[in-house]
A = this chain, B = another copy of it.
């Protein structure tokens, strides 16, 4: 399934594509002249413009369309925040050390590599055709010096395949067991690596001159949004549901980054946190707009059965059948699909894969990834997680801040319940700085616990409660500090912690997939690459080409680029001495959709030719009509076919150009 193809279905020559992308400075390894640093890339002018265009469309498609509240939070984050969110303890990958040469291997990729090598050897031994798989971004591959052609038992083959289908579902201990069970050895040294240990993926630093305040670079933009929840709710006049959004850099200290832009240590994310009332069954009032959109789904159960077959289904049906848990999650899956389609991702190369239990991040209760098919196989490009009330709850518990929604009830409710009552006068001076934490722990007690503790308090005059992080985690509270009583209440306000649905976009991965999906080569010449970006994402929209360097051409060039700039359309002039064919070829590689030629006839009658990149066909008309056509094409209100039907097709010079091109 991973044999990649170009836009036109040709086999993808990844080497040729990558060399073209670097030559045209879409991206380049950072600090290249210093030998580079794995997992760090710079975007050059076309990559930078492409990224800006993707972000611009993202912002319009999500933020503006749904009045989301955009935030720009810092990447520097103090230790306490990420300790509470669980990242300090759990945001880790499993790594193994090779005792012989000190190599550090990512455990899951190591298991995957060795088992795949064995399966390949088995195929060879059976005389079957072996498909060369491209380098996978998930893997640190110590290139085996050649697979040994060893035939395996049929049962073993089946076992290996089942392990591989759920490779993302194993924890460190289980990966260690697999390494022992199958006696997996590092091909570079021939020895079995040490058991997997957790490696935290966050970059650490110290904030301030004393060096005492530990901090990290954020691994996601989400936490800043959660911490601002109360302010956002107020800004939104208390109205629910609503979403916040952030676009910014995040950082993950990958164990062994590979695969170019697909696994990097610093990357641009665009994240949405949609806050919803859990009592609403997570209904979404615009779900009807998307319910008929068909998605390719690969659910959890299919994967656990060792399969990877997708099912095509409308999102309406998927939610109805509970394959996708709720409307809000379903709404965003469909919206993600529409966004990917809009920027030019090949729809046949999108699938939505549900996470398996152990694979999910510590905060998630359900998660679907939009995966894109590339030369590195299916790559996670957008995650859409249901984080439930996890984050708001842990931060509220830690800080005492009320990260809740308070809603007036139409009819007041009368309830009876156990209620802790703190004697603040005495409580504060005794617990001092820990007071808030202890209070929060008391307020978080369940009704059952309160009932039991009330009894204890009466009997012993004191109770002991668990308060992680204060002293040894056990705190004694005496009855002069706390009463726990059975009380009747009239409730006028309903208070709840919202749940969060989080669509999270890795912009770099999407950008790279977009390049692969839109790349192809001209028939008969595999070195003449073209990137067929839709005009909206193309880094530059128009190439202006004066046929001659004579001074009479200059005023036309200046006027046209000024005119295009004034209507917000980016253009570039190529007045080099290269042949016109070569100039167009260069811009095909940059994905510039339109070419505006100024030729000798222009000097006589002020007409220009407009060339369409993919077909290389041209029309000829006077300036105003040509500029209007460009505007309509870039805005997407007209197609090239429309333009050809409106303006005279130009054949003459095309021959000239074709000749020059060859």
Point out residues on A near B: beta carbons under 8 Å: 24-25, 28, 30-34, 37-38, 40-45, 47-49, 51, 64-65, 67, 69-78, 80-81, 95, 104, 199, 203-210, 213, 215, 217, 224, 227-228, 230-232, 235, 237, 248-249, 251, 253, 255-256, 265-266, 395, 398-399, 401, 403, 565, 570, 572, 576
Contact = CB atoms under 8 A, between A and B. Distances in A.
A394 B334 CA distance: 52
A25 B227 contact: no
A408 B429 CA distance: 81
A70 B32 CA distance: 18
Contacts of A45: 69-71, 235
B40 A74 contact: yes
Contacts of A215: 37
A73 B51 CA distance: 13
A77 B104 CA distance: 22
A516 B210 CA distance: 33
B34 A203 contact: no
B208 A253 contact: yes
B95 A71 contact: no
A255 B199 CA distance: 31
A206 B209 contact: no
Contacts of A210: 104
Contact of A71 (B44, B74, B224, B255): B44
Nearest to A586: B237
A204 B403 CA distance: 33
A14 B228 CA distance: 24
9 contacts: A30-B74, A37-B213, A42-B71, A44-B69, A74-B266, A75-B266, A95-B209, A199-B209, A203-B205
Contacts of A207: 37, 203, 253, 265
A395 B75 CA distance: 28
A64 B565 CA distance: 8
A30 B73 CA distance: 7
B253 A34 contact: no
Contacts of A398: 34
A49 B104 CA distance: 44
B213 A74 contact: no
Nearest to A106: B209
Contacts of A203: 76, 205-207
A203 B217 CA distance: 11
B235 A78 contact: no
Given A25-B235, A28-B228, A95-B209, A78 B34 contact: yes
Given A43-B71, A77-B31, A565-B64, A205 B204 contact: yes
Given A42-B74, A209-B255, 16 more contacts: A30-B74, A30-B227, A32-B228, A37-B215, A40-B74, A42-B72, A42-B73, A44-B231, A48-B70, A51-B72, A65-B565, A75-B249, A76-B251, A76-B265, A203-B206, A205-B217
Nearest to A234: B25
Can you tell how many copies of this chain the complex includes? 2
A375 to B, nearest CB: 24
B399 A33 contact: yes
- A-B complex: 10 closest residue pairs judged by Cβ atoms: A33-B401, A43-B72, A42-B73, A33-B399, A48-B70, A45-B69, A203-B205, A40-B74, A74-B266, A205-B205
Contacts of A249: 75, 248-249
B570 A64 contact: yes
B76 A266 contact: yes
A283 to B, nearest CB: 20
A230 B95 CA distance: 38
A31 B80 CA distance: 10
A208 to B, nearest CB: 7
Contacts of A67: 572
Nearest to A225: B42
A240 to B, nearest CB: 15
B224 A42 contact: yes
A76 B33 contact: no
B72 A576 contact: no
A72 B237 CA distance: 37
Interface centre among A209, A232, A395 (most CB of B within 10 A): A209
Contacts of A231: 25, 28, 32, 44
A453 to B, nearest CB: 28
A559 to B, nearest CB: 15
Contacts of A572: 67
A261 to B, nearest CB: 12
Contacts of A399: 33-34
A227 B199 CA distance: 31
A78 B253 contact: no
A235 B576 CA distance: 12
Contact of A80 (B34, B40, B74, B209): B34
Contacts of A230: 33
Contacts of A248: 249
Contacts of A224: 30, 42
A95 B208 CA distance: 12
B72 A48 contact: yes
Contacts of A235: 24-25, 44-45
A480 to B, nearest CB: 29
A104 B248 CA distance: 32
Contact of A38 (B208, B232, B251, B255): B208
Contacts of A48: 70-72
